[in-house]
Structure 1
Amino acid sequence: MVTERVEDDHIEDLEEDQFIDPNDVLGEVEMDGDLPMDEDEEDGAAGEHPPDEEIVWEDNSMQHFPNHNGSVFAISTHPAAPIAASGGEDDLGYIWDITTGDELVKLTGHTDSVTSTAFSADGELVATGGMDGKVRVWRRVGKDSYKSWEFLTELTGPDEVMWLKWHPKGTVLLAGSNDTTVWLWQLPSGNTMQVFAGHMGPVACGDFTPDGKRIITADAEGTLIFWDPRSPTPVFKLSPSNGRFALDGITSLAVNPASTLAVVGGANGGVRVISLSKGEIVGALAGHQEGESVEAVQFVELAAPAPLSGAAPSAGGVVVTGATDGKACVWDLSTMRLRATLEHGDAVTSLHRLPPPKAHLIVSASADKILRTWDARTGTLVREHKGHSAPVLGAALGMGGDVVVSAGDEGVCLVFPTE
């Protein structure tokens, strides 16, 4: 295992005035066949249907971005500006304008599919990760607009990039690889801060905790590891050797706002709640069909905290899990019970919580070609977002949660109002 520790001070700076609460609270229209063609239709009217039989494709999107030549695998949005970064199987990434659909920058240099895109917390950098193992980073030019970007550096090390995550407060980039390693770089220098080893399979998911002090990663073999960014040694590890943690591989995870609980989803449809301070399982949630992979996990806030209450972020809360059974399940972690079930016609591919004061609203994307906005408090459907002609592979919220930007298997990105 290779580690470089030259950036320890940077992590320490990021942690200034941060803390972890030590107390966990447990608690689409099909025809039946070809229509017959009349003889008088040979002059050019062939194939035309009476008005009441016309096939109409519903599209309530605000904007299209059709520049990709192949499936779009990744989509992310800028934290402040109305722009998005997408990546696809054409080995390209793009930065484009959400409001006009105009291409701003073509992100080149990959030799295989671009599977990840991500903007840094300050919006000054954007990274792309690909199946070629490359992580390429671009930097905004000037301070007047977000329409001009320049290539900054290429980071290498992983065999195939599975996902990318930026530190919530700094220019530190985390990547998971299919070769069992996890990489940590500091930008703009591009220096490797750490290479974490300890997984036994492709690192399917991972992230920084919301407070920025820890890293959580999980692999396709079913192992979850909690890390201190400054150390190559795990804080704790949970593996399928623990019978209660046998998930046939971990496919998704999320950490609550207080950085005290993690919820992980498995390939077998299982969901587990983990105390990050104790390093142990504190709950098992059974709501998805057995053998249906849990593809997304997202915490939501059903009520705003009382002003000036001084209360720490909730260690419990409500979490939503989405799976290939077409269900998004809303769970109350204080009771470990199911609150509501949100139904799609096919696999749920991603979940996205709106920011306050609409943090009770969640957007789900699905292989049924539709995105939906729900009220997680009641399970009520607020709006359907239609326009894709193929499965929606990913999505991201933009413009302060006013829009959702989606990535389609047909090669098109769409923009919808969330409400």
Structure 2
Amino acid sequence: MRDNTPPHRPDFDDGEDELEEIIELEEQPLDEDDDDLEEVTLEQLEARLAMAGGDDDEEEDEEELRDRERIANITDEAKVTFEKHTAPVFACSLHPIYNWAVTGSEDDRAYVWETSSGDVLYEITEHKDTITETHFSHDGVYLATGDMAGELFAFKVSEEHDVRPILTKIWEYSMSDMSWLFWHRAAHILLAGSDSGEVFVFRIPSGDCKILPGQSSRCEFGELSGDGKKLFTVYLNGSVKLWDLKSCQVLFDINETHPMGFGEIAHAVVACERDSPFYVCAESSGKMLFCTNNGAVSTIQSEHGIECLAFAPPSADLKLLACGSLDGRISIWDYAKSALRTICENPVPNDGVLRIKWLSDHTILAATSQGNLNAFDARTGALKFTLTGHHYHIYEFVYKPQENLLLTVSEDQTAKIFQVPALCD
């Protein structure tokens, strides 16, 4: 609840009968048999009341105490901690050239800051809702930010990065409530999905726009195909589509009537293999749907619900797909054989996996609900290393392989820069 949200007004009418009964009792004289009533002081009464209703409070206190002890025992291994945000931080990106990070938060603020010092370089204050997306373009020329209400901004990054301000706003757009936003991998094209189902494709800086029509169902997730010419999307009504971005035509649509379709879903994610026309959509019950350019080809039912997934890099010698679960497991699938290869177990029980990304051909990194960063060998499932510092949900992270740096953002209202240990693949 925001600070300016008024508290709910109590309904006093419901307590009138009870109040009258209390008044009547106070007006009645004491019986003679009441002479031996126990006298109780105010302190004793408060103590007894606390004991009578204290079981729930004691459980809450014990849980809070355990949580405090867990946080106190966390070793912060971050090189830099950014603490300007005053609410949970959801979005982050690293500039491909300069030592800059950008983060966006529930406090309606986005900051551009130095990764070596945490010093603020630029503050974006125009948003009026939670900022859930912040992205530098592939070449670092532009920065895009988006909030839940659908306000989108694009900024030109100054080539003279030692001169402030470093950003100039060159475009803005108001769409319906936004569900996701990202840049094209090789062009100044911005793609955004909406709660109403439409997908917007903007050319920046001109603002020319194509709209991929929706169907009154939230576009939950979208990702570019390996060749960058198509968009793979999933909707909460269970529909899965592949779009041609040039013609805006649907190449296939797998809906609830399809024998491999989903039906209505609560959460779903998609991934696209980078070096072939191969796609996967997974939903929270664990069902995975595999597709090619011609449509659905197979399904697999995982034993674990799926929160996130990622294909191994094209350079990897094995065709692997990693699936993260809220129960703390990462399933590694050999998708060429439709076979489960191994399961990576987080060292902390029930430490849910919220994000996974491949750091190299054989190293997968998981960000968890208790603020841990666990790296595994995808071939064996063995834990390679853990980075600690956050103490609540890590919502997003970005890896910069040139410098072996990791940027993370969390429910704990901070962003952190970590130095990743040697991967030794």
State the partner residue of 1:278: 294
State the partner residue of 1:241: 257
State the partner residue of 1:229: 245
- In 1, the alpha carbon distance for the partners of 2:384 and 2:183 equals 31
Higher relative contact order (Cα pairs below 8 Å, separated by 6+ residues): 1
Q: Which amino acid aligns with 1:297?
A: L
Contact residue 80 and residue 399 of structure 1 kept, 8 A = no
Structure 1, unmatched stretches of 5+, are 1-29, 36-48, 306-315
- In 1, the alpha carbon distance for the partners of 2:334 and 2:164 equals 42
Taking structure 1 as reference, are residues 187 and 319 closer, same or farther at Cα in structure 2, changes over 3 Å only? same
State the partner residue of 2:351: 346
Contact residue 158 and residue 168 of structure 2 kept, 8 A = no
1:297 maps onto 2:314 in alignment: no
State the partner residue of 1:109: 126
Q: How much has 1:186 moved relative to structure 2? A: 0.5
Taking structure 1 as reference, are residues 327 and 200 closer, same or farther at Cα in structure 2, changes over 3 Å only? farther
- In 2, the alpha carbon distance for the partners of 1:114 and 1:102 equals 20
Q: How much has 1:34 moved relative to structure 2? A: 11
1:264 maps onto 2:281 in alignment: yes
Residues 4-153 of structure 1: matches in 2 within 5 Å?
A: 55-143=72-160, 148-153=165-170
Q: Which amino acid aligns with 1:223?
A: S
CA RMSD of aligned residues (A): 2.6
- In 2, the alpha carbon distance for the partners of 1:214 and 1:120 equals 18
- In 1, the alpha carbon distance for the partners of 2:72 and 2:419 equals 25
- In 1, the alpha carbon distance for the partners of 2:284 and 2:263 equals 6
Q: Which amino acid aligns with 1:416?
A: F
Name the SS of the counterpart of 1:245 in structure 2.
coil
Contact residue 239 and residue 262 of structure 2 kept, 8 A = no
Contact residue 63 and residue 414 of structure 1 kept, 8 A = yes
Contact residue 197 and residue 214 of structure 2 kept, 8 A = yes
Higher helix share: 2
Contact residue 281 and residue 290 of structure 2 kept, 8 A = yes
Taking structure 1 as reference, are residues 155 and 303 closer, same or farther at Cα in structure 2, changes over 3 Å only? closer
Name the SS of the counterpart of 1:400 in structure 2.
coil
State the partner residue of 2:25: none
Residues 380-419 of structure 1: matches in 2 within 5 Å?
A: 380-400=382-402, 402-419=404-421
Q: How much has 1:88 moved relative to structure 2? A: 0.8
The alignment's TM-score, normalised by the length of structure 2, stands at 0.77
Q: Which residue of 186, 192, 214 maps to 2:230?
A: 214
Taking structure 1 as reference, are residues 119 and 303 closer, same or farther at Cα in structure 2, changes over 3 Å only? closer
Contact residue 84 and residue 96 of structure 1 kept, 8 A = yes
State the partner residue of 2:211: 195
Q: What are the superposed Cα offsets for residues 184-243 of structure 1, whole Å, 9 maximum, x if unpaired?
A: 100111221x11113441111112223211111111221111111122331111112224
State the partner residue of 1:165: 182
Q: How many residues align?
A: 355
Taking structure 1 as reference, are residues 151 and 288 closer, same or farther at Cα in structure 2, changes over 3 Å only? farther
- In 2, the alpha carbon distance for the partners of 1:181 and 1:111 equals 22
Q: Which amino acid aligns with 1:286?
A: Q
- In 2, the alpha carbon distance for the partners of 1:93 and 1:164 equals 15
Contact residue 354 and residue 394 of structure 2 kept, 8 A = yes
Taking structure 1 as reference, are residues 343 and 122 closer, same or farther at Cα in structure 2, changes over 3 Å only? same
State the partner residue of 1:25: none
- In 2, the alpha carbon distance for the partners of 1:146 and 1:180 equals 41
- In 2, the alpha carbon distance for the partners of 1:396 and 1:336 equals 29
Q: Which amino acid aligns with 1:205?
A: F
- In 1, the alpha carbon distance for the partners of 2:154 and 2:376 equals 35
Contact residue 254 and residue 262 of structure 1 kept, 8 A = yes
Taking structure 1 as reference, are residues 144 and 156 closer, same or farther at Cα in structure 2, changes over 3 Å only? closer
Q: How much has 1:346 moved relative to structure 2? A: 2.6
Structure 2, unmatched stretches of 5+, are 1-59
Q: What are the superposed Cα offsets for residues 390-419 of structure 1, whole Å, 9 maximum, x if unpaired?
A: 111111112536122111101101122222
Q: What are the superposed Cα offsets for residues 146-181 of structure 1, whole Å, 9 maximum, x if unpaired?
A: 975323234324211211121111101000111111
Structure of greater Rg: 2
State the partner residue of 1:26: none
- In 1, the alpha carbon distance for the partners of 2:156 and 2:369 equals 33
Contact residue 402 and residue 418 of structure 1 kept, 8 A = yes
Contact residue 175 and residue 183 of structure 1 kept, 8 A = yes
- In 1, the alpha carbon distance for the partners of 2:197 and 2:386 equals 38
Q: Which amino acid aligns with 1:333?
A: Y
Contact residue 66 and residue 412 of structure 1 kept, 8 A = yes
- Percent identity over the alignment is 26
Contact residue 253 and residue 263 of structure 1 kept, 8 A = yes
State the partner residue of 2:35: none
- In 1, the alpha carbon distance for the partners of 2:165 and 2:130 equals 24
Q: How much has 1:82 moved relative to structure 2? A: 2.6
1:287 maps onto 2:292 in alignment: no
